[in-house]
A and B are shown apart, each in its own frame.
Chain A
Amino acid sequence: MRILQIDKKDWSAGLEKSRKDYTLIGPVKEGNNVSKFKELAAGEEPDFSITTTTMSPKSVVFPQSEVMFTFTTDSASADCNIMKVPEKSYSPRAVIGIRPFDAVAMKIVKMNFDTPDYQDPYWCDAYAACTFIGLAITDPEACDFSTSTGTGPFDTSGLDVLLVDAGDYYLAEVVTDKGDSWIQSASFDQEADAESVEILHSMRKEAKKKIESTVEFANIDKKETLDLYNEKYWDSISFPCLNCGTCTYVCPTCWCFDIQDEMAHKNGRRMKNWDSCMFPNFTIHTTGHNPRNTKLMRVRQRFMHKLKYHQSKYNMGIMCVGCGRCVTSCPVNIDIREVCKQMNS
Chain B
Amino acid sequence: MINPYLPYPIRIDDIIVESEDRSLKTFKFVFLDPKDEEKFSYQAGQFAEISIPGQGEIPIGLASSPVEKGFIAFTINRAGKVTSHLHNMKVGDILGVRGPLGNPYPWDTMKGKNLLFIGGGFAFTTLRSSVVYLLHPDNRDKYGAIDVVYGSRSPGMLLYLDELKAWEARDDINMHITVDGTDDPDWKYNVGFVPPVAEEKAPKSEGDTYAIVCGPPIMIKFTLPVLEKLGYDHDHIILSLENRMKCGIGMCGRCGIGEQLVCKDGPVFTLAEVNNTPKEF
Contact = CB atoms under 8 A, between A and B. Distances in A.
A69 B5 contact: yes
Contacts of B278: 225-226, 229, 304
Contact of B6 (A85, A284, A309, A313): A85
Q: Is the interface of B mostly helix, strand, loop or mixed?
A: loop
Interface string A114-126: 0101111100110
Contacts, number: 127
Interface stretch (B184-192, B203-211, B220-228, B249-257): B249-257
B233 interface: no
A261 B95 contact: no
B7 A83 contact: yes
Contacts of A312: 259
A283 interface: yes
Interface in A227-248: 229
Contact of B1 (A117, A119, A289, A310): A119
Contact of B96 (A83, A85, A255, A309): A83
Contacts of A272: 5
B53 A81 contact: yes
Interface string B72-91: 00000001100100000000
B251 A112 contact: yes
A124 B1 contact: yes
Contacts of A285: 242-244
A225 B258 contact: yes
A232 to B, nearest CB: 16
B244 A117 contact: no
Contacts of B217: 289
Contacts of A270: 5, 53
Contacts of A117: 249-250, 264
Contacts of A310: 259
The CB with the most chain A CB atoms within 10 A, among B56, B96, B246, is that of: B246
Nearest to A257: B252
B108 interface: no
B253 to A, nearest CB: 3
Given A69-B5, A256-B252, A261 B54 contact: yes
Nearest to A300: B278
Interface in A212-234: 225-226, 229
Contact of B250 (A118, A257, A275, A292): A118
B6 A283 contact: no
A305 interface: yes
A268 B55 CA distance: 10
A310 B96 CA distance: 33
A260 B276 CA distance: 32
Interface in B39-69: 51-57
Given A81-B95, A226-B276, A282 B6 contact: no
The CB with the most chain B CB atoms within 10 A, among A80, A259, A310, is that of: A259
The CB with the most chain B CB atoms within 10 A, among A121, A257, A261, A282, is that of: A261
Nearest to A71: B53
Contacts of B52: 81
Interface in A260-309: 260-261, 263, 268, 270, 272, 275, 277, 282-287, 289, 291-292, 297, 301, 304-305, 308-309
A113 interface: yes
A261 B53 contact: yes
A81 B6 contact: no
B261 to A, nearest CB: 9
Given A119-B2, A225-B276, A313-B259, 6 more contacts: A81-B9, A115-B250, A226-B276, A275-B252, A289-B217, A291-B243
18 contacts: A73-B53, A83-B6, A112-B253, A113-B251, A115-B250, A118-B4, A120-B4, A124-B1, A225-B277, A229-B258, A257-B252, A259-B5, A259-B57, A259-B246, A270-B5, A277-B253, A297-B280, A313-B259
Interface of B: 1-7, 9, 51-57, 79-80, 83, 93-96, 217, 242-244, 246-247, 249-259, 264, 276-278, 280-281
**5 closest A-B pairs by CB:** A256-B253, A286-B80, A309-B259, A291-B280, A81-B94
